[in-house]
Structure 1
C-alpha cells in the first residue's frame, strides 16, 4: 500500500492496466490540460489483469461503423507508435502482423451477415473481401471446407501486435509526464448529491477528486457501486492454448473464427487457439481455475476438423483470463454517468479492449479535458444506454 503525495487530484483513475494507463497518458497530450492525475492500481504486477491475458489482436471486421473507425485509428497508432510517443528513440517500433481475420460462415444467414458487414467495412476504407468457398480454398488449401459457404478476410491492418509493449509505454510515458501511480485499493467513495467528492483507500486515506475514471476492467461494477452507480459488466472466463504442430502449415494461419466458436491463428512458429467455456457464466473476480477438459472436448476436435493437418498437435502453454463482459451488448460503455457526471466509465469491452485502447483512451481524455469527444464521435458507446436497455448493435462479436 502506498500513500499518494497529495490530498486531492483533478483526476483519479481507478485501475492502472491498459485503460487506466491509456487515459492517463492521453491526458498528458491534451493541449491546455494541466490537471493533476492519480492512477490507483491494486496489483502492480498486473498478474490477473485482463491486459496481461490478452491475445493482442486487432481487426476492422466489425459490423458497426463506430467500432471499425476505432480500430482503424488503433492500426494507425500501432504503425506510428514512436511518433505518437514523442519520437523518443527508446520507444520501439511496433509491428502489426497482418495475417488478418478469417470469418467462416456455415449457413446462408451468416454468409449474408458477413456480406453486409463487408460492405460497411469497405465503405470506410477497410480492405475486407467477401470470399466464396472456392476462393478461400485457393488461398488457404489447408482448410477443410465441406460445411462452409463463404467467408470474410482482410490482410490489411488486421492481425497481431505487441500489446504488452504498448501498455508498458502508456504507463511509462504517463509517469514520465507527471502522472502519479500508487499501489492501493479503493474501498469506498463519498458522494454528495450528483458528485463524487473523494475516494477512500484500504488504509483509510481519503483522496479528494475532481473527476473519477472507472478503468477497473472486470471489477467495473464493484467500482461503480461505491459511487451508488451500476453497470452491467461481469467477469467471464476465456481460455487460450498455444500449441505446436507435427506438420506446420506452409503459410500464415489467419485468425480463423470457426463456426464451432473456437478461434485459432499463427503465433510465430507455433499456433494459438481460444474459446469461451461451453457454459459461459459469470465468475468471481479471483476465479482463474482452469478447465483442462476443454482442450480434449472442444478445442482440439474443432481445430483438427477444420485443419486436418492439425491432427497431431501438442499444447505447450495455456492460460485463462477474464473478459470484462458487458451483458447488455458486449460493447464498450463510455462516458459520464447521467446522475453523477464527474464519474466517467471506460468499461465493458468484452474482448475488444486492447485494440480499442488508443482511440478510446484518447476520447476519454478529450471528454475530461474539453467536455466533449473531438477526434472520433464515441457517443454511440454512451454508458447511459444501459439503464435504458438500448443495445449497441454489433454482429461481429467473438
Structure 2
C-alpha cells in the first residue's frame, strides 16, 4: 500500500543537493529505510551527476525521478517545491544558498528540513518567510541533524517528564557532549560563510553572540543575566568531569531557546541552558580538555583571520569531502542533559547513537525528519512557520529515531546529599 499523503503532488520527499557528500548519504539511507510506496526524488543542478549518484544507490532507488533545480533559478525552485510534500535540503552553506529554497517552500506550502548550523541563516529565514509559511501551512524546519536534534529533543523530553511528574519548570540545564567523528569540507565552508558575513558587516556579530538571537519575541525573553557560551576549561561541580567549550553550543542553545519561546516558554520562564564538551575526570580529562579547547580556538582564529585563512583552507578538507565509510561506521555520540526543576527534582536525559554524528547519524536524522514531515501529519504538533525539530515534529520524530536504534531516555536523579 502506498504511503503517499498528497496525491496531487508526484513526490513525497525530494532530496535537494543529492550529489553532495551528505546528500548522497541521505539518499542511501532513504533507499534502505523509507517505507514501501514512499515516492522519493533526487534533485540538484546537474542531471548527469544525479544519474551517476542514482546508479550507486540500492536497487529500489534506481527508478527514482530526477529533478534539475538551481538556487539561481527561481522557476526551477518553484517547480521543485510544488512537486513534493517535503524537501530535505543539504545545499549549503545555507547562508549563501538556502534562502531561495525556503522561500519557494514557504510559497508552495511545502515542508522543509535542512542541516544548517548557521545562526545568521536561521535569523534571515525567520524574518523572510515565517509569516508566509504560517499562511500556507508550511513547516520550515531548520537544524535537523547533529545540529540540533539531540539538543532540542533531549530538552523536550526533560520538559515532558517534568510536566508528567508535576515537577515545575526547568531551571539550570546543561548538556555534556561526547563524540567520535570526522569533519567535512561542507561544515568548514558553513563556518567560513558566517565569518565572511561578519567581516563584511560587523553588526552581525551581535546576532551571533546574542543568546536569544532566534527568539520570536526578543523583548519578551526573561532577564536571566548574561547567558554566555562556555569559553574556558573547568571541572564540573556535579559530574566531576573536566569540561570545555562545545563547538556547536553557539547554535544549538539558540535553537533550544527558540523552542521554549515558540511554546510560550513552557519549559519555564527561568530556564537557563548551556552546552559543554565533556572529557572525563582527573589529569587525563584536564589535559584533553585543555588541548582540544586550545586547538579549537586556534582553528577558529585561523579561519576568521583573512591572512591565515588560505593556509587553513589548504589543510582542511574541501567541500564535498568527508570521513571514510569505515570512520563513519565507527563514530558515535552521547549527550547527557541534566536539569533541576522548580520543585528541586533532578533529571537526566540521554541522547545517543552509533555512527559518525555529523554524517552517518545525521543522515538518519535528516532522512527521518523528511519522512516525518511528509507522512506523519496527524501525529505532528499543530504548527507552521520557521520551526525547530521539537516544535515541528516533537514526539513523532522521537518515535522514529528510537525505531532506528537511537537512545532517547529520561531518568530521575537522586536528591543531592
Q: TM-score, normalised by structure 2?
A: 0.28
* Structure number with higher strand proportion: 1
* Structure number with higher helix proportion: 2
